[in-house]
A and B are shown apart, each in its own frame.
Chain A
Amino acid sequence: MNYNWDWGVFFKSTGIGDEIYLDWFVTGLGWTIAVSLAAWIVALALGSLLGVMRTVPNRWVSGFATAYVELFRNVPLLVQLFLWYFLVPDLLPEPLEMWFKQDLSPATSAYLSVIVCLGLFTAARVCEQVRTGIQALPKGQAAAAYALGFRLPQIYGNVLLPQAYRIIIPPLTSEFLNVFKNSSVASLIGLMELLAQTKQTAEFTANLFEAFTLATLIYFTLNMTLMLIMRAIEKKVRVPGMISLGGK
Protein backbone atom coordinates (compact mmCIF):
# COMPACT_ATOMS: atom_id res chain seq x y z
CA MET A 1 0.00 0.00 0.00
CA ASN A 2 1.31 3.42 -0.87
CA TYR A 3 0.93 6.51 1.22
CA ASN A 4 -0.88 9.36 -0.51
CA TRP A 5 0.65 12.65 0.48
CA ASP A 6 -1.82 15.49 0.39
CA TRP A 7 -0.97 18.74 2.13
CA GLY A 8 -4.23 20.25 0.96
CA VAL A 9 -6.10 17.95 3.33
CA PHE A 10 -6.45 20.71 5.95
CA PHE A 11 -8.67 22.71 3.62
CA LYS A 12 -10.98 19.84 2.78
CA SER A 13 -14.46 19.68 4.23
CA THR A 14 -14.91 17.42 7.26
CA GLY A 15 -18.41 16.64 6.11
CA ILE A 16 -19.88 18.25 9.23
CA GLY A 17 -21.51 21.56 8.32
CA ASP A 18 -19.05 23.64 6.34
CA GLU A 19 -16.11 22.93 8.63
CA ILE A 20 -12.70 22.23 7.17
CA TYR A 21 -10.10 20.13 9.00
CA LEU A 22 -8.09 23.23 9.80
CA ASP A 23 -11.02 24.40 11.95
CA TRP A 24 -10.52 21.33 14.14
CA PHE A 25 -6.92 22.32 14.76
CA VAL A 26 -7.96 25.87 15.62
CA THR A 27 -10.57 24.62 18.10
CA GLY A 28 -8.01 22.21 19.55
CA LEU A 29 -5.43 24.94 19.97
CA GLY A 30 -8.08 27.05 21.69
CA TRP A 31 -8.75 24.31 24.24
CA THR A 32 -5.04 23.71 24.76
CA ILE A 33 -4.48 27.38 25.52
CA ALA A 34 -7.59 27.61 27.71
CA VAL A 35 -6.51 24.59 29.77
CA SER A 36 -2.90 25.69 30.07
CA LEU A 37 -3.53 29.28 31.08
CA ALA A 38 -6.14 28.37 33.70
CA ALA A 39 -3.94 25.59 35.12
CA TRP A 40 -0.97 27.95 35.17
CA ILE A 41 -2.87 30.52 37.24
CA VAL A 42 -3.76 27.82 39.78
CA ALA A 43 -0.18 26.53 39.78
CA LEU A 44 1.39 29.95 40.19
CA ALA A 45 -0.89 30.98 43.05
CA LEU A 46 -0.74 27.69 44.96
CA GLY A 47 2.92 27.10 44.13
CA SER A 48 3.91 30.52 45.45
CA LEU A 49 1.99 29.93 48.65
CA LEU A 50 3.66 26.53 49.12
CA GLY A 51 7.07 27.93 48.23
CA VAL A 52 6.71 30.56 50.93
CA MET A 53 5.50 27.91 53.37
CA ARG A 54 8.63 25.84 52.74
CA THR A 55 10.85 28.72 53.84
CA VAL A 56 8.80 29.85 56.82
CA PRO A 57 10.49 29.27 60.20
CA ASN A 58 7.84 26.81 61.39
CA ARG A 59 8.42 23.06 61.20
CA TRP A 60 4.76 22.11 60.74
CA VAL A 61 4.11 24.61 57.98
CA SER A 62 7.25 23.78 56.01
CA GLY A 63 6.73 20.06 56.65
CA PHE A 64 3.26 20.25 55.14
CA ALA A 65 4.59 21.97 52.02
CA THR A 66 7.38 19.40 51.70
CA ALA A 67 4.88 16.55 51.95
CA TYR A 68 2.74 18.17 49.27
CA VAL A 69 5.68 18.48 46.91
CA GLU A 70 6.80 14.87 47.41
CA LEU A 71 3.28 13.54 46.95
CA PHE A 72 2.52 15.42 43.75
CA ARG A 73 5.95 14.91 42.23
CA ASN A 74 6.07 11.16 42.71
CA VAL A 75 2.72 10.12 41.26
CA PRO A 76 2.48 10.10 37.43
CA LEU A 77 0.43 12.91 35.94
CA LEU A 78 -1.92 10.49 34.20
CA VAL A 79 -2.69 8.66 37.46
CA GLN A 80 -3.45 11.99 39.09
CA LEU A 81 -5.72 12.93 36.22
CA PHE A 82 -7.67 9.67 36.51
CA LEU A 83 -8.02 10.21 40.25
CA TRP A 84 -9.41 13.72 39.75
CA TYR A 85 -11.69 12.74 36.92
CA PHE A 86 -13.00 9.33 37.98
CA LEU A 87 -12.57 9.15 41.75
CA VAL A 88 -12.93 12.63 43.24
CA PRO A 89 -16.42 13.39 41.84
CA ASP A 90 -17.72 10.26 43.63
CA LEU A 91 -16.36 11.54 46.93
CA LEU A 92 -18.08 14.92 46.64
CA PRO A 93 -21.26 15.68 48.61
CA GLU A 94 -24.40 14.49 46.81
CA PRO A 95 -25.60 17.81 45.26
CA LEU A 96 -22.12 18.69 44.05
CA GLU A 97 -21.62 15.22 42.60
CA MET A 98 -24.91 15.44 40.71
CA TRP A 99 -23.98 18.89 39.41
CA PHE A 100 -20.61 17.66 38.18
CA LYS A 101 -21.94 14.50 36.56
CA GLN A 102 -25.30 15.62 35.18
CA ASP A 103 -25.55 19.39 34.86
CA LEU A 104 -22.14 19.99 33.33
CA SER A 105 -21.45 19.10 29.72
CA PRO A 106 -18.80 16.37 29.29
CA ALA A 107 -16.36 18.96 27.94
CA THR A 108 -16.82 21.23 30.95
CA SER A 109 -16.40 18.49 33.54
CA ALA A 110 -13.27 17.23 31.76
CA TYR A 111 -12.01 20.81 31.56
CA LEU A 112 -12.48 21.38 35.29
CA SER A 113 -10.75 18.10 36.16
CA VAL A 114 -7.76 18.88 33.97
CA ILE A 115 -7.34 22.37 35.38
CA VAL A 116 -7.40 21.14 38.97
CA CYS A 117 -5.09 18.20 38.16
CA LEU A 118 -2.56 20.13 36.10
CA GLY A 119 -2.70 23.13 38.43
CA LEU A 120 -1.99 21.09 41.54
CA PHE A 121 0.62 18.96 39.75
CA THR A 122 2.51 22.01 38.49
CA ALA A 123 2.16 23.83 41.82
CA ALA A 124 4.59 21.31 43.34
CA ARG A 125 7.18 22.27 40.73
CA VAL A 126 6.52 26.01 41.03
CA CYS A 127 6.86 25.65 44.82
CA GLU A 128 10.39 24.30 44.44
CA GLN A 129 11.36 27.17 42.13
CA VAL A 130 9.92 29.82 44.46
CA ARG A 131 11.73 28.25 47.40
CA THR A 132 15.00 28.25 45.44
CA GLY A 133 14.46 31.90 44.52
CA ILE A 134 13.81 32.94 48.12
CA GLN A 135 16.79 30.96 49.40
CA ALA A 136 19.05 32.46 46.73
CA LEU A 137 18.55 35.92 48.22
CA PRO A 138 21.17 37.16 50.67
CA LYS A 139 20.17 36.49 54.30
CA GLY A 140 20.68 40.19 54.99
CA GLN A 141 17.51 41.04 53.07
CA ALA A 142 15.21 39.32 55.56
CA ALA A 143 17.34 40.46 58.49
CA ALA A 144 17.21 44.08 57.36
CA ALA A 145 13.45 43.88 56.96
CA TYR A 146 13.14 42.45 60.50
CA ALA A 147 15.32 45.26 61.79
CA LEU A 148 13.05 47.79 60.12
CA GLY A 149 10.14 46.32 62.07
CA PHE A 150 8.42 44.48 59.18
CA ARG A 151 6.08 41.66 60.10
CA LEU A 152 6.51 38.25 58.41
CA PRO A 153 3.81 38.82 55.73
CA GLN A 154 5.34 42.19 54.94
CA ILE A 155 8.81 40.71 54.66
CA TYR A 156 7.62 38.21 52.10
CA GLY A 157 5.28 40.53 50.25
CA ASN A 158 7.47 43.59 50.04
CA VAL A 159 11.04 42.33 50.21
CA LEU A 160 11.60 38.65 49.43
CA LEU A 161 9.00 37.68 46.82
CA PRO A 162 9.39 40.66 44.46
CA GLN A 163 13.08 39.84 44.16
CA ALA A 164 12.70 36.06 44.13
CA TYR A 165 10.22 36.09 41.24
CA ARG A 166 12.58 38.06 39.07
CA ILE A 167 15.41 35.63 39.72
CA ILE A 168 13.39 32.55 38.86
CA ILE A 169 11.82 33.70 35.61
CA PRO A 170 13.92 31.29 33.47
CA PRO A 171 12.97 28.10 35.38
CA LEU A 172 9.37 29.34 35.71
CA THR A 173 9.30 29.78 31.94
CA SER A 174 10.20 26.16 31.39
CA GLU A 175 7.50 25.10 33.86
CA PHE A 176 5.05 27.29 31.97
CA LEU A 177 6.02 25.56 28.72
CA ASN A 178 5.69 22.19 30.47
CA VAL A 179 2.08 23.03 31.33
CA PHE A 180 1.33 23.43 27.62
CA LYS A 181 2.95 20.10 26.80
CA ASN A 182 1.35 18.33 29.76
CA SER A 183 -2.10 19.65 28.84
CA SER A 184 -2.09 17.02 26.08
CA VAL A 185 -3.07 14.37 28.67
CA ALA A 186 -6.51 16.01 28.62
CA SER A 187 -7.08 14.12 25.36
CA LEU A 188 -7.20 10.90 27.42
CA ILE A 189 -10.33 11.96 29.29
CA GLY A 190 -12.07 13.12 26.13
CA LEU A 191 -11.31 16.83 26.01
CA MET A 192 -10.90 17.77 22.34
CA GLU A 193 -7.68 19.73 22.65
CA LEU A 194 -4.93 19.88 20.05
CA LEU A 195 -3.67 16.30 20.32
CA ALA A 196 -7.18 14.83 20.34
CA GLN A 197 -8.13 16.86 17.25
CA THR A 198 -4.95 15.73 15.53
CA LYS A 199 -5.71 12.10 16.26
CA GLN A 200 -9.24 12.55 15.00
CA THR A 201 -8.05 14.18 11.78
CA ALA A 202 -5.54 11.39 11.24
CA GLU A 203 -8.28 8.80 11.67
CA PHE A 204 -10.79 10.60 9.44
CA THR A 205 -8.47 11.40 6.55
CA ALA A 206 -5.77 8.69 6.75
CA ASN A 207 -3.29 11.54 6.16
CA LEU A 208 -1.59 10.92 9.46
CA PHE A 209 1.84 12.33 8.59
CA GLU A 210 0.37 15.66 7.52
CA ALA A 211 -1.86 15.87 10.60
CA PHE A 212 0.92 15.10 13.07
CA THR A 213 3.39 17.35 11.26
CA LEU A 214 0.98 20.27 11.60
CA ALA A 215 0.44 19.47 15.28
CA THR A 216 4.15 19.37 16.06
CA LEU A 217 4.62 22.62 14.14
CA ILE A 218 1.90 24.27 16.21
CA TYR A 219 3.43 23.04 19.50
CA PHE A 220 6.89 24.09 18.31
CA THR A 221 5.76 27.58 17.32
CA LEU A 222 3.76 28.02 20.51
CA ASN A 223 6.81 27.06 22.55
CA MET A 224 9.16 29.39 20.70
CA THR A 225 6.72 32.31 20.89
CA LEU A 226 6.14 31.91 24.61
CA MET A 227 9.88 31.58 25.19
CA LEU A 228 10.57 34.83 23.34
CA ILE A 229 7.84 36.65 25.27
CA MET A 230 9.19 35.39 28.59
CA ARG A 231 12.71 36.37 27.62
CA ALA A 232 11.54 39.90 26.87
CA ILE A 233 9.75 40.07 30.23
CA GLU A 234 12.84 38.74 31.98
CA LYS A 235 14.98 41.48 30.46
CA LYS A 236 12.49 44.13 31.42
CA VAL A 237 12.15 43.20 35.10
CA ARG A 238 15.74 42.18 35.77
CA VAL A 239 17.00 43.35 39.16
CA PRO A 240 19.95 45.68 38.61
CA GLY A 241 23.10 44.18 40.08
CA MET A 242 21.70 40.62 40.11
CA ILE A 243 22.37 39.78 36.50
CA SER A 244 24.42 36.72 37.38
CA LEU A 245 21.45 35.21 39.23
CA GLY A 246 19.05 36.15 36.46
CA GLY A 247 20.37 33.49 34.14
CA LYS A 248 22.36 35.69 31.74
Chain B
Amino acid sequence: MDFSAIVPALPGLAEGMLMTLKLMVMGVLGGVVLGTLLAMMRLSHNPLLAKLAGFYVNYFRSIPLLLVITWFYFAVPFILRAITGEDTPVGAFTSCLVAFVMFEAAYYCEIVRAGIQSISRGQMSAAQALGMSYGQMMRLVILPQAFRKMTPLLLQQSIILFQDTSLVYTVGLMDFLNSARSRGDIIGQPHEFLIFAGLVYFLVSFSASLLVKQLQKRLAV
Protein backbone atom coordinates (compact mmCIF):
# COMPACT_ATOMS: atom_id res chain seq x y z
CA MET B 1 0.00 0.00 0.00
CA ASP B 2 1.37 3.35 -1.03
CA PHE B 3 -0.80 6.35 -0.42
CA SER B 4 1.60 8.94 -1.87
CA ALA B 5 -0.14 8.87 -5.28
CA ILE B 6 -3.21 10.42 -3.69
CA VAL B 7 -1.52 13.78 -3.06
CA PRO B 8 -1.19 14.83 -6.72
CA ALA B 9 -4.75 13.58 -7.33
CA LEU B 10 -6.21 15.77 -4.60
CA PRO B 11 -7.43 18.64 -6.83
CA GLY B 12 -9.37 16.17 -8.99
CA LEU B 13 -10.80 14.48 -5.94
CA ALA B 14 -11.83 17.85 -4.54
CA GLU B 15 -13.75 18.48 -7.75
CA GLY B 16 -15.58 15.20 -7.19
CA MET B 17 -16.33 16.18 -3.61
CA LEU B 18 -17.71 19.49 -4.89
CA MET B 19 -20.07 17.57 -7.15
CA THR B 20 -21.15 15.37 -4.24
CA LEU B 21 -21.82 18.40 -2.04
CA LYS B 22 -23.66 20.19 -4.85
CA LEU B 23 -25.93 17.18 -5.31
CA MET B 24 -26.49 16.92 -1.59
CA VAL B 25 -27.26 20.60 -0.95
CA MET B 26 -29.60 20.94 -3.93
CA GLY B 27 -31.20 17.59 -3.10
CA VAL B 28 -31.80 18.65 0.49
CA LEU B 29 -33.26 22.02 -0.47
CA GLY B 30 -35.55 20.57 -3.13
CA GLY B 31 -36.46 17.61 -0.95
CA VAL B 32 -37.39 19.78 2.03
CA VAL B 33 -39.54 22.13 -0.08
CA LEU B 34 -41.37 19.27 -1.83
CA GLY B 35 -41.54 17.31 1.43
CA THR B 36 -43.14 20.26 3.25
CA LEU B 37 -45.75 20.62 0.50
CA LEU B 38 -46.48 16.88 0.74
CA ALA B 39 -46.75 17.07 4.52
CA MET B 40 -49.27 19.92 4.26
CA MET B 41 -51.22 17.85 1.72
CA ARG B 42 -51.18 14.82 4.02
CA LEU B 43 -52.54 16.89 6.87
CA SER B 44 -55.12 18.79 4.81
CA HIS B 45 -58.85 18.27 5.23
CA ASN B 46 -59.23 17.41 1.58
CA PRO B 47 -59.30 13.58 1.52
CA LEU B 48 -58.15 13.40 -2.09
CA LEU B 49 -55.03 15.50 -1.44
CA ALA B 50 -54.28 13.55 1.74
CA LYS B 51 -54.64 10.20 -0.04
CA LEU B 52 -52.51 11.34 -2.95
CA ALA B 53 -49.66 12.48 -0.70
CA GLY B 54 -49.97 9.32 1.37
CA PHE B 55 -49.64 7.18 -1.72
CA TYR B 56 -46.63 9.18 -2.93
CA VAL B 57 -44.82 8.66 0.37
CA ASN B 58 -45.62 4.94 0.60
CA TYR B 59 -44.63 4.41 -2.98
CA PHE B 60 -41.21 6.04 -2.78
CA ARG B 61 -40.46 4.53 0.60
CA SER B 62 -40.96 1.01 -0.69
CA ILE B 63 -38.61 1.14 -3.68
CA PRO B 64 -34.79 1.34 -3.65
CA LEU B 65 -33.14 4.70 -4.30
CA LEU B 66 -30.84 3.02 -6.80
CA LEU B 67 -33.85 1.97 -8.84
CA VAL B 68 -35.21 5.53 -8.82
CA ILE B 69 -31.86 6.94 -9.97
CA THR B 70 -31.57 4.38 -12.78
CA TRP B 71 -35.15 4.82 -13.88
CA PHE B 72 -35.01 8.60 -13.94
CA TYR B 73 -31.75 8.53 -15.83
CA PHE B 74 -33.59 6.69 -18.62
CA ALA B 75 -36.96 8.38 -18.22
CA VAL B 76 -36.35 12.11 -17.67
CA PRO B 77 -35.32 12.79 -21.31
CA PHE B 78 -38.43 10.94 -22.52
CA ILE B 79 -40.75 12.83 -20.20
CA LEU B 80 -39.23 16.19 -21.10
CA ARG B 81 -39.68 15.38 -24.76
CA ALA B 82 -43.32 14.50 -24.17
CA ILE B 83 -43.88 17.81 -22.37
CA THR B 84 -41.91 20.20 -24.56
CA GLY B 85 -42.31 18.26 -27.80
CA GLU B 86 -38.67 18.65 -28.75
CA ASP B 87 -35.40 17.01 -27.84
CA THR B 88 -33.99 18.64 -24.74
CA PRO B 89 -30.66 17.19 -23.78
CA VAL B 90 -30.42 16.69 -20.02
CA GLY B 91 -27.27 15.51 -18.35
CA ALA B 92 -26.92 12.82 -15.74
CA PHE B 93 -26.70 15.57 -13.12
CA THR B 94 -30.22 16.86 -13.74
CA SER B 95 -31.84 13.44 -13.80
CA CYS B 96 -29.99 12.40 -10.63
CA LEU B 97 -31.03 15.61 -8.90
CA VAL B 98 -34.67 15.07 -9.87
CA ALA B 99 -34.43 11.50 -8.54
CA PHE B 100 -32.93 12.66 -5.22
CA VAL B 101 -35.48 15.45 -4.74
CA MET B 102 -38.47 13.22 -5.45
CA PHE B 103 -37.14 10.30 -3.41
CA GLU B 104 -35.97 12.28 -0.39
CA ALA B 105 -39.19 14.33 -0.36
CA ALA B 106 -41.03 11.20 0.78
CA TYR B 107 -38.72 10.91 3.79
CA TYR B 108 -38.67 14.64 4.56
CA CYS B 109 -42.48 14.65 4.33
CA GLU B 110 -42.74 12.25 7.26
CA ILE B 111 -40.31 14.32 9.33
CA VAL B 112 -42.15 17.57 8.60
CA ARG B 113 -45.51 15.96 9.25
CA ALA B 114 -44.39 14.78 12.67
CA GLY B 115 -43.00 18.27 13.30
CA ILE B 116 -46.26 20.00 12.41
CA GLN B 117 -48.25 17.52 14.49
CA SER B 118 -46.04 18.22 17.50
CA ILE B 119 -47.16 21.88 17.59
CA SER B 120 -49.97 22.30 20.09
CA ARG B 121 -53.49 22.81 18.71
CA GLY B 122 -53.82 26.07 20.58
CA GLN B 123 -51.33 27.70 18.22
CA MET B 124 -53.57 26.94 15.27
CA SER B 125 -56.71 28.06 17.08
CA ALA B 126 -55.04 31.31 18.14
CA ALA B 127 -53.91 32.02 14.58
CA GLN B 128 -57.41 31.40 13.29
CA ALA B 129 -58.92 33.55 16.03
CA LEU B 130 -56.64 36.38 14.90
CA GLY B 131 -58.21 36.08 11.46
CA MET B 132 -55.15 34.65 9.67
CA SER B 133 -55.62 32.76 6.44
CA TYR B 134 -54.34 29.17 6.11
CA GLY B 135 -51.24 30.37 4.28
CA GLN B 136 -50.46 33.06 6.86
CA MET B 137 -50.97 30.62 9.72
CA MET B 138 -48.61 28.03 8.21
CA ARG B 139 -45.99 30.55 7.14
CA LEU B 140 -45.95 32.77 10.23
CA VAL B 141 -46.98 30.50 13.09
CA ILE B 142 -46.84 26.76 12.54
CA LEU B 143 -43.91 26.07 10.18
CA PRO B 144 -41.34 28.31 11.93
CA GLN B 145 -41.93 26.45 15.18
CA ALA B 146 -42.11 23.05 13.55
CA PHE B 147 -38.85 23.56 11.66
CA ARG B 148 -37.01 24.57 14.81
CA LYS B 149 -38.14 21.33 16.45
CA MET B 150 -37.21 19.07 13.60
CA THR B 151 -33.87 20.60 12.60
CA PRO B 152 -31.84 17.71 14.10
CA LEU B 153 -33.91 15.09 12.27
CA LEU B 154 -33.70 17.01 8.99
CA LEU B 155 -29.93 17.25 9.37
CA GLN B 156 -29.63 13.54 10.14
CA GLN B 157 -31.60 12.71 7.01
CA SER B 158 -29.27 15.04 5.08
CA ILE B 159 -26.23 13.11 6.31
CA ILE B 160 -27.87 9.95 4.98
CA LEU B 161 -28.40 11.73 1.67
CA PHE B 162 -24.73 12.73 1.66
CA GLN B 163 -23.81 9.05 1.79
CA ASP B 164 -26.50 8.06 -0.71
CA THR B 165 -25.21 10.46 -3.35
CA SER B 166 -22.49 7.87 -3.95
CA LEU B 167 -25.14 5.81 -5.80
CA VAL B 168 -24.86 8.15 -8.81
CA TYR B 169 -21.91 5.91 -9.63
CA THR B 170 -24.46 3.82 -11.54
CA VAL B 171 -25.04 6.53 -14.17
CA GLY B 172 -21.39 7.54 -14.36
CA LEU B 173 -21.68 10.97 -12.79
CA MET B 174 -18.27 12.10 -11.49
CA ASP B 175 -19.02 12.47 -7.80
CA PHE B 176 -16.43 11.91 -5.07
CA LEU B 177 -16.60 8.11 -5.08
CA ASN B 178 -16.55 7.85 -8.85
CA SER B 179 -13.64 10.25 -9.28
CA ALA B 180 -11.67 8.31 -6.65
CA ARG B 181 -12.47 5.00 -8.37
CA SER B 182 -11.56 6.17 -11.84
CA ARG B 183 -8.36 7.90 -10.72
CA GLY B 184 -7.33 4.82 -8.77
CA ASP B 185 -7.94 2.62 -11.79
CA ILE B 186 -5.92 4.87 -14.11
CA ILE B 187 -2.93 4.99 -11.78
CA GLY B 188 -3.25 1.30 -11.01
CA GLN B 189 -3.81 1.77 -7.27
CA PRO B 190 -7.56 1.20 -6.91
CA HIS B 191 -7.26 -0.07 -3.32
CA GLU B 192 -5.51 3.00 -1.94
CA PHE B 193 -8.03 5.36 -3.54
CA LEU B 194 -10.97 3.30 -2.35
CA ILE B 195 -9.70 3.28 1.24
CA PHE B 196 -9.06 7.01 1.03
CA ALA B 197 -12.61 7.60 -0.27
CA GLY B 198 -14.09 5.54 2.55
CA LEU B 199 -12.01 7.44 5.09
CA VAL B 200 -13.16 10.83 3.78
CA TYR B 201 -16.82 9.78 3.75
CA PHE B 202 -16.43 8.50 7.28
CA LEU B 203 -14.76 11.66 8.60
CA VAL B 204 -17.35 13.96 7.01
CA SER B 205 -20.43 12.04 8.14
CA PHE B 206 -19.03 11.18 11.56
CA SER B 207 -18.12 14.76 12.42
CA ALA B 208 -21.40 16.00 10.97
CA SER B 209 -23.37 13.59 13.13
CA LEU B 210 -21.39 14.67 16.21
CA LEU B 211 -22.34 18.28 15.44
CA VAL B 212 -25.98 17.28 15.06
CA LYS B 213 -25.85 15.58 18.44
CA GLN B 214 -24.44 18.76 19.99
CA LEU B 215 -27.19 20.79 18.35
CA GLN B 216 -29.81 18.36 19.59
CA LYS B 217 -28.59 18.86 23.16
CA ARG B 218 -28.71 22.63 22.80
CA LEU B 219 -32.16 22.65 21.24
CA ALA B 220 -33.58 20.24 23.80
CA VAL B 221 -35.99 21.99 26.14
Contact = CB atoms under 8 A, between A and B. Distances in A.
Interface of B, secondary structure class, is helix
Contact of B67 (A177, A208, A216): A216
A86 B190 contact: yes
B163 A77 contact: yes
Contacts of A71: 202
A87 interface: yes
A3 B71 CA distance: 16
B66 A75 contact: no
Interface stretch (B6-14, B94-102, B193-201): B193-201
Given A212-B67, A223-B62, A79 B74 contact: no
B3 interface: no
B194 A212 contact: no
Contacts of A109: none
Contacts of A82: 181, 194
Interface in A46-68: none
Interface string B33-48: 0000000000000000
A187 interface: yes
Given A83-B194, A83-B198, A220-B59, A209 B75 contact: yes
Contacts of B71: 208, 212, 216
A3 B66 CA distance: 24
Interface in A68-85: 70-71, 73-80, 82-83
A215 B71 CA distance: 10
B170 interface: yes
A76 B62 contact: no
A209 B163 CA distance: 28
Contact of B206 (A70, A83, A188, A219): A70
B63 interface: yes
A104 to B, nearest CB: 20
Interface string A174-203: 000100011111011000000100110010
Given A219-B63, A219-B64, A74 B202 contact: yes
Band of interface residues on A: 35 or more
B161 to A, nearest CB: 11
Band of interface residues on B: 20 to 34
A78 B195 contact: no
B57 to A, nearest CB: 13
A3 B194 contact: no
Interface string B178-194: 00010000000011001
B216 interface: no
B177 interface: yes
Given A212-B75, A219-B63, A86 B170 contact: no
A173 B197 CA distance: 31
B65 interface: yes
A103 interface: no
A92 interface: no
Nearest to B82: A3
A74 B206 contact: yes
A55 B72 CA distance: 44
A90 interface: yes
- Residue of B63, B81, B169, B194 most packed against chain A (CB within 10 A): B63
A80 B74 CA distance: 26
B143 interface: no
A232 to B, nearest CB: 18
B70 A86 contact: no
A188 B78 CA distance: 24
Contacts of B74: 202, 208, 212
Given A78-B167, A87-B191, A184 B201 contact: no
Interface of B: 59, 62-67, 70-71, 74-75, 78, 81-82, 163-164, 166-167, 169-170, 177, 181, 190-191, 194-195, 197-198, 201-202, 205-206, 209
Interface of A: 1, 3, 70-71, 73-80, 82-83, 86-87, 90, 177, 181-185, 187-188, 195, 198-199, 202, 208-209, 212, 215-216, 219-220, 223-224
Given A216-B67, A216-B71, 4 more contacts: A78-B177, A187-B66, A195-B64, A219-B63
15 contacts: A3-B78, A3-B82, A70-B206, A79-B177, A83-B198, A87-B194, A182-B64, A185-B66, A185-B167, A188-B170, A195-B64, A195-B70, A212-B67, A212-B75, A224-B62
